[in-house]
Structures are given as C-alpha cells and as structure tokens.
Amino acid sequence: MKFIGRFILLAAFFTVMNHPANLQAANEPVIPVKDTVTMVDLGAKTCIPCKMMAPILEELKTEYQGKAEVIFIDVWEDPSQGKRFGVMSIPTQIFYDRHGKEAYRHTGFMDKEKIKKWLDMLLERK
C-alpha cells in the first residue's frame, strides 16, 4: 500500500512539473539579468508604437551586446508577464541597474536616443 501511495505522489509530481505552463516558466529569461544593466520592453508585436520600436530594440541589442541586456516581451502572447511587471499600458520600458533595482519606467514610444541615455547612465553607475 505504501508503494502505491508513493507511486501516485511521484506521478502527480511529474505531471505538474511537465505541464506546459511550468515548462514555459523554466525557459523564461531571468529579468533583470544578474549583474547586468537590463532594459525590458513590454509590448506586443501587433501594436503600432511597439512595431515602431522593434527595429530600434534590435539595433540596441547589437550595440550593447556584452554591456547591457535589451529584452522584448509580448504581453499579448503571455498576459502573465504584464501582471508580473505591473504593466498598465503598452509599450512599457523598464530599466534596471546592475544590482537588479528598477531605475526608471516609461510608458509609450521611446526613441533610440532616450533609451541610450538611460542605458549609458546606468552603465556608468557602480
């Protein structure tokens, strides 16, 4: 009887751990990225200001590679991320310093120069 009880508990554990929602969570990037300045843009691939920002974010990912992380999250594909970051409107950009503390939050389109200003300022901080 003990064997059957243990088997049921073990089967339930593996069922929960292999549920798609739990597997997705394990593959998510850790935000903010440890020991790195991080900018996360929360938006949607189909929102107009978000579409306007997409090429800017790609350029910044390349320009800041090895110095800062630039991450895009589509909150329409994964609504839990909007709740996780307290997003009320998209796009929302959140900047974290290298210690993982939120330094600045902006809602709406953000141009490349303003994003660079914040990334550079946070990179200069110790």
Centroid of chain to Cα 126? 23
| Catalytic position from the list 47, 54, 71, 121 | 47
Q: List pLDDT tens digits, range 17-40.
A: 444 444 345 566 689 999 999 999
Q: Give domain limits for the chain.
A: 1-29, 31-124
Q: What topology does CATH give the domain 31-124?
A: Glutaredoxin (3.40.30)
Catalytic residue among 39, 40, 50, 115: 50
| 50 classed as catalytic | yes
Catalytic residue status for 47:
yes
Q: Is residue 79 within 8 Å of residue 90, measured between CB atoms? A: no
- Indicate whether 90 pLDDT > 90: yes
Half-sphere exposure of 3 (CA within 13 A, CB side): 0
* pTM over 0.85, yes/no: no
DSSP conformation letters of 73-93: EETTT-HHHHHHHT-SSSSEE
| Res. 122 pLDDT band, cuts 50 70 90 | very high
> Distance (Å, rounded) from C-alpha 101 to C-alpha 91?
20
Residue type, 82: G
pLDDT in tens, 103-120: 999 999 999 999 999 999
